[in-house]
Amino acid sequence: MIKLSKYLLLIVLTMSLSSCFELIEDTTLHADGSGSYKLTLNLSSSTTRINSIMAMDTIDGKKVPSRQELKTKMQEYISLLNSKEGISYAEGSLNTENWIIKLDLNFASLAHLKAGLIDLSKDINQHETSEEVNQLKLSYVNGVYQRELGAFIPEKWKKEVKSDEDFSRLKEGKCIFIQRFDQEVSEVSSTNARISKSKKAVMLQLSPLEIVNNPQKIDYSIKTVH
């Protein structure tokens, strides 16, 4: 939920106001705290509308970037991520035919992942990012995974989303959060989350509408057998 780039995400944010989409966040955590992080944002159901926006010169007073400019920026951000401490093997892609964005990286710890994403946000936005993002919680210590991100979804963005005429369509989208562990899971604080049959993974699935109306639903903790 950290703001990355007005330039790259201009179209994505526009689409998220009124179209159905699928977001999948998949985190693997090892006993030593290291792991991998994968993020996929699939906007293929909005291809027609996105392409119509791409044909425009400007939107909300901002120049609409070309497909190649978006891809170039994406790779610049991946290079920046790879330069961050504790982040390695970062790869990313932007499919401008079906409008699918993918990010894949390894991290030394969730603290490094959090710091890397925050630092990237500051680099891209020339240090305009609010210092409040430093209070985001994302950790895995002594067998306890904890995340608190909901409170930092910007109020301005929530108001814009709710004022859109197609706001109710957000219930058609999917936001899936997955955490995988080496150890078995013993407890999950969210009543909406589900533990896998192997007991080594947890999945939380919400609609974008649920998240906008109650951001705290994406805040939860998981205890593993330590």
**Pairing label, strands 58-59, 35-42:** unpaired
For 15, other C-beta atoms within 10 Å of its C-beta total 21
Residues 91 and 121: beta-carbon distance below 8 Å: no
Q: Using a pLDDT cut of 90, give the percent of the chain over it.
A: 43
Segment 7-63, tens digit of pLDDT: 444 445 445 544 568 889 999 999 999 999 999 989 888 788 788 888 888 877 778
Please write down the long-range contacts of 196-205, taking CB distance under 8 Å and 24 or more positions apart. 202/178, 203/176, 203/177, 203/178, 204/176, 204/177, 204/178, 205/174, 205/175, 205/176, 205/177
Token pair for 75: 């790779």
Element (H, E) at 75: helix 67-82
Distances in Å between the Cα of 104 and the Cα atoms of 1, 41, 57, 82 are 16, 12, 32, 11
- The predicted structure's pLDDT at residue 140: 94
Mean pLDDT of the chain: 83
What pLDDT was estimated at residue 218?
Answer: 92
C-alpha atoms less than 13 angstroms from C-alpha of 193 in its C-beta half-sphere = 22
CA distance 54 to 171: 25
pLDDT of residue 89: 96
pLDDT > 70? residue 68 = yes
Residue 48 is predicted with a pLDDT of 82
Mean pLDDT of 53-77: 84
How far is it, in rounded angstroms, from Cα 135 to Cα 182? 27
Q: Quick one: pLDDT at residue 205? A: 96
Q: What is the average pLDDT across 87-107?
A: 93
> Could you tell me the pTM of the whole model?
0.86
Q: pLDDT value at position 130?
A: 57
Find the Cα–Cα–Cα–Cα dihedral 22, 27, 28, 30, rounded to 10°. Answer: -170
pLDDT per residue over 101-153, tens digit each?
A: 999 999 999 999 998 888 877 776 655 555 666 678 899 999 999 998 876 66
210 vs 30, more confident: 30
Instruction: Please tell me what DSSP assigns to residue 46.
Output: G
Distance in angstroms (rounded) separating the CA atoms of residues 32 and 19: 40
Whether the pLDDT of residue 84 is over 50: the answer is yes
Q: Position 61: which residue type?
A: G
SS3 39: strand
